Chain A
Amino acid sequence: MMEMISEVGAIFMRWNKKLVRQPILIFFNLIQPLVWFLLFTQAFSAIGNIPTFQLLTGTSSYITFFTAAVIIQTIASSALNAGIGLVNDFDSGFMDKMRVAPINKSSILFGRLFSSALTTVVQVAIILVIGLALGVNIASGILGVIVIFVLAALFGIAWSGISLFVALNTKNAETTLSVGLLTTFPLLFLSASVMPTGLLPSWVQQVAKVNPFTYIAEAFQSLIIKGFVWTNIQNALIAILIVGVLSLGASILLFRRKIS
């Protein structure tokens, strides 16, 4: 166990160093969420005037409501990189170097996931700072921000599992990237991220109910707009747990089989 902790630590630090040395990567993932944050919320700001919207969300500022969607987009986009980093390791021969070493194979995945989670937190912090500058007020205060970070890190790890799974199956960066991009957008629009559930068409409501993004979004939205709504945080944690167990379980099994 001690050995595994030090292995995970070494691999975690490796990825952190890599990232710090190419800081552009931190911003690369932020470009799209930022464009949305700045443009989407301007074009759709009138949504905030709809009485039903105000009633359902508790705010008349669409940008405040939409902050949650931007955070989720950031998490999803950062999660993509977890798999791509792994593909690069396969290509460069570094993976073989780690495989011939007497280390626990799961350490390779966990070191990567934790570093990816740290990146996510940094990116979410940047988004929140920009949000504050744009007039978004976080009702739950500093404690709420910490809860947002924790949820973002956990959901980041769980969602990364999907990108790891695709990466291990295809060993191809392009496929991993496009699978990630193609799933993020539909899931975002088929959830309560961009519009409160009550304003969604009924078939979308049905889909949103089984879409993990909905529960993460609702937790973020309540922390930003209202304060601590424990049922929402609890639901988010359950969603993260389900996604995490499935995606990470599948990735670890596949990884062990592929590189035993």
Chain B
Amino acid sequence: MEENIVTVEDLHKTYGKDVLAVDGITFTVKKGEIFGFLGPNGAGKSTTIKILTTLLEKSSGKVTIDELDVDDDQAKVRRIIGYSSQEVGVDDDLTARENLLLQCSFHHIPKEKAKAKVEELLKTVRLAEAADRRLRTFSGGMRKRLDLASALVSEPKILFLDEPTTGLDPQSRQDIWEYIVRLNRQGMTIFLTTQYMEEADRLAGRLCIVDQGKIVAEGTPNELKAQIGADKITLHFKADDFSSCDKAKELMSKLPGIQEVGQCRDGLVSENGLTIMTKNGSSMVTQVVRAMDSAGINVEQLTLSAPTLDEVFLKLTGKTLNVVERKEAVGARGRRRR
């Protein structure tokens, strides 16, 4: 029997009079899973996670964490959750060890027990050697790892991670991912928000795709990708060879088994290319190549790709998720820019 640890019913959040940040969201998170909230900036992800972690008051709806109401049982909820914010809430003037010990005292963990726990956590996040260095000298990845550790001192039942890898370098991102997976294997439920489809795809057992305060799709990454129901074949032509592209498009739309042909002359695929959506992409490739060959059309490059969550997002919202990474998000000091 799978039990729900988070239930959210018809959640609304309005800022001021008319800024609707969350517009009627309903979902549940099961005990022991990694649940992802995928969406672009401004989709309402942070607002939702702040309501779930009791940091923000909701406008309407019902939210429970482990059967506790976030409004009525606020204090009890805070005892069973861990939260790591986008801003990385650690104190840069303190050392890694001091930060964790401080967090322990916030959770009223007795001194001796706290010391042992901090040692253990420092080892787990591979900061044992840097334990007595002030955070000023830490990289973004190290600060984030420490922040994760500090969210764990209370041994929470569920861990909330708000964009855990935004602004991190690929190696640090890999580290954080491995760490999240390890925690989950040990039985911890994890709720994470992300704007990276790759992250959601890699980590989340189930996920919601959110846009403009609404859930536009929900399911496992594979279920969502199956909604697209097609593989993608991309053909690239010489940059100025538009006639080949036009000819190929005409040819392709007549080919049986092809669902959709899109022509691209903008930056989305290439300067000059075609995207072909089809079931059973691998067998279609040969047919496409043969057709091109017999018509004498010059193809520069051909790629076959399985659908990604980005295509799911594009299909559902008409927008692309491909975000330009915000390098400044977790700077050396992690201060939020105003």
Contact pick for B89, options A7, A14, A95, A102, CB 8 Å? A95
Asked if A93 lies at the interface with its beta carbon under 8 angstroms from chain B, I say yes
Contact pick for A100, options B81, B105, B134, CB 8 Å? B81
Q: CB-nearest residue of chain A relative to B79?
A: A102
Beyond A93-B86, A94-B91, whether A100 also contacts B335 by CB under 8 A is no
Interface string of A102-113 (1 = CB under 8 A from B): 110000000000
Beyond A17-B93, A92-B334, whether A101 also contacts B87 by CB under 8 A is no
Contact pick for A92, options B87, B107, B154, CB 8 Å? B87
A254 to chain B, nearest CB (A): 16
Flag if B106 contacts A7 (CB, 8 Å). yes
B159 to chain A, nearest CB (A): 11
Flag if A10 contacts B102 (CB, 8 Å). yes
Flag if A96 contacts B85 (CB, 8 Å). yes
Q: Which residues of B contact A101 (CB under 8 A)?
A: 78, 103, 106-107, 154
Contact pick for A99, options B55, B92, B154, B338, CB 8 Å? B55
Flag if B335 contacts A92 (CB, 8 Å). yes
Q: CB-nearest residue of chain B relative to A259?
A: B55
Flag if B102 contacts A14 (CB, 8 Å). yes
Q: Which residues of A contact B88 (CB under 8 A)?
A: 92-93
Q: CB-nearest residue of chain A relative to B98?
A: A17
A12 to chain B, nearest CB (A): 11
B238 to chain A, nearest CB (A): 50
Flag if A102 contacts B105 (CB, 8 Å). no
Give the CA-CA distance A62 to B93 in the complex, in Å: 41
Beyond A93-B88, A94-B89, whether A100 also contacts B54 by CB under 8 A is yes
Interface string of B60-97 (1 = CB under 8 A from A): 00000000000000110011010101111111111000
Asked if B53 lies at the interface with its beta carbon under 8 angstroms from chain A, I say yes
Give the CA-CA distance A10 to B105 in the complex, in Å: 7
Q: Which residues of A contact B105 (CB under 8 A)?
A: 6-7, 9-10
A118 to chain B, nearest CB (A): 16
Number of A residues whose C-beta is below 8 Å from B? 24
Q: Which residues of A contact B278 (CB under 8 A)?
A: none
Q: CB-nearest residue of chain B relative to A18?
A: B93
Give the CA-CA distance A190 to B89 in the complex, in Å: 42
Q: Which residues of B contact A94 (CB under 8 A)?
A: 89-91
Flag if B336 contacts A93 (CB, 8 Å). yes
Contact pick for A18, options B79, B81, B86, B94, CB 8 Å? B94
Q: Which residues of B contact A97 (CB under 8 A)?
A: 83, 85, 89-90, 103, 150
Residue among B81, B87, B336 having the largest count of chain A Cβ atoms under 10 Å: B87
Asked if B108 lies at the interface with its beta carbon under 8 angstroms from chain A, I say yes
B110 to chain A, nearest CB (A): 10
Q: CB-nearest residue of chain A relative to B54?
A: A100
Q: Which residues of B contact A99 (CB under 8 A)?
A: 54-55
Give the CA-CA distance A92 to B79 in the complex, in Å: 22
Asked if A242 lies at the interface with its beta carbon under 8 angstroms from chain B, I say no
Q: CB-nearest residue of chain A relative to B108?
A: A3
Q: CB-nearest residue of chain A relative to B337?
A: A91
Residue among A6, A96, A97 having the largest count of chain B Cβ atoms under 10 Å: A97
Q: Which residues of B contact A21 (CB under 8 A)?
A: 93, 134
Give the CA-CA distance A159 to B93 in the complex, in Å: 26
Flag if A22 contacts B89 (CB, 8 Å). no
Asked if A132 lies at the interface with its beta carbon under 8 angstroms from chain B, I say no
Q: Which residues of B contact A7 (CB under 8 A)?
A: 105-106
Q: CB-nearest residue of chain A relative to B338?
A: A91
Binding site for A on B (CB under 8 A): 53-55, 57, 74-75, 78-79, 81, 83, 85-94, 98, 102-103, 105-108, 134, 150, 154, 334-336, 338
Given A21-B93, A92-B335, A93-B334, 9 other A-B residues pairs in contact with their CB atoms under 8 A: A6-B105, A91-B335, A91-B338, A92-B91, A93-B88, A97-B83, A102-B107, A102-B108, A103-B106
User: 11 A-B contacts, Cβ less than 8 Å apart?
Assistant: A17-B93, A17-B94, A18-B93, A92-B88, A93-B85, A93-B336, A96-B89, A97-B83, A97-B90, A101-B107, A102-B108
User: Across chains A and B, which 6 residue pairs bring their CB atoms closest together, nearest first?
Assistant: A93-B87, A97-B89, A93-B89, A101-B106, A10-B105, A18-B93
